[in-house]
Amino acid sequence: MKFLCMCRCGNKRSVFTRYVLQGSGKHEAIACGYKYNTPDTIAMLCKWADRILLAEPEMKEHILAKYQTKIDEYFFIGPDNYPENIEGELKDTIIDKLGTLKYL
């Protein structure tokens, strides 16, 4: 399955989600941030993806309506209040969510 993982800046929550998905050996994944990508780039990535994983529900406003059906409404991992490294709460949260949703 192909995943688009999106957060605000595209350098922590989405990157760690991509890392876990690709590390499973089952999926392709791209990380991006809505703040530093144009709407055209986000649309292109959404078209490519089978599923869109957003860090927060409010990020839906950056996804064109025609791609919103690809958003997994159960994945949200919350605001960016995690430390800079992947070990710890962020990694555990991502693995728990992806496992619960049967992506791992």
List, for residues 1-58, the tens digit of each pLDDT value.
Answer: 999 999 999 889 999 999 999 999 999 999 999 999 999 999 999 999 999 999 999 9
Region 66-95: what's the mean pLDDT? Answer: 87
pLDDT at residue 87 is higher than 80: no
Cβ pair 13, 82 in contact under 8 A: yes
In this predicted structure, the answer to whether residue 86 has a pLDDT above a threshold of 90 is no
- CATH number reported for the structural domain that contains residue 59 in this entry: 3.40.50.2300
As for how many domains the chain has, the answer is 1
What is the arithmetic mean of pLDDT over 73-77?
94
Q: Indicate the pTM of the whole model.
A: 0.92
The alpha carbon of 68 is separated from its chain's Cα centroid by a whole number of angstroms, namely 13
56 to 13, 26, 61: CA distances (angstroms): 10, 24, 11
User: Quick one: pLDDT at residue 11?
Assistant: 86
Q: What phi and psi values does residue 2 have, to the nearest 5 degrees?
A: -105, 125
Boundaries of domain holding 30: 2-100
Residue 75 has pLDDT above 80, yes or no: yes
At residue 53, the 3 state secondary structure works out as strand
The pLDDT value recorded for residue 22 is 93
